Amino acid sequence: MSVKPILKMVMSNDLFDIEQGAAPDDPERFAIFVQCLIGEEGPAADTFNLVVLSPNMVAAEVPESGLLTGRGHLIMKRYDYARLHATVAGWCAAAESDNWQTSAAILSRYMTWEFEGD
């Protein structure tokens, strides 16, 4: 039986009503922490985290070490919720596999999974 991950909800404490159209004050300079609830058909879902940011904010996100890895980050030139949602939904479609662990590992290439390392 094939596991088909589904994006069930997108949440952000930075943009409280993100699914209802909330947007950053400056759509070309932003950094937003986003949580994506993803699971199989049914009510259960796991949380995958992502920082969505503009190229203008990349320098501000670089830590003292002077390095920033790409995993767990999605860089968008201009904020666009529909494009964000479509991108994550596309990752879900590409993560279809034989079991949830494999699907979650595929999704973890892009986002950080709440059960990573367990």
Nearest-angstrom CA–CA distance, 115 and 23: 29
The per-residue pLDDT for 69 is: 78
Model confidence, pTM: 0.91
Q: What is the pLDDT of residues 56-106, one digit of tens each?
A: 888 877 877 788 778 899 999 999 999 999 999 999 999 999 999 999 999
Per-domain residue ranges of the chain? 6-113
Residue 118 pLDDT level (bands cut at 50, 70, 90): low
- Asked whether the predicted pLDDT for residue 6 surpasses 80, the reply is yes
Nearest-angstrom CA–CA distance, 66 and 98: 39
* Phi/psi at 58 (5° precision): -60, -50
Nearest-angstrom CA–CA distance, 91 and 59: 26
Nearest-angstrom CA–CA distance, 55 and 81: 16
- Asked whether the predicted pLDDT for residue 28 surpasses 70, the reply is yes
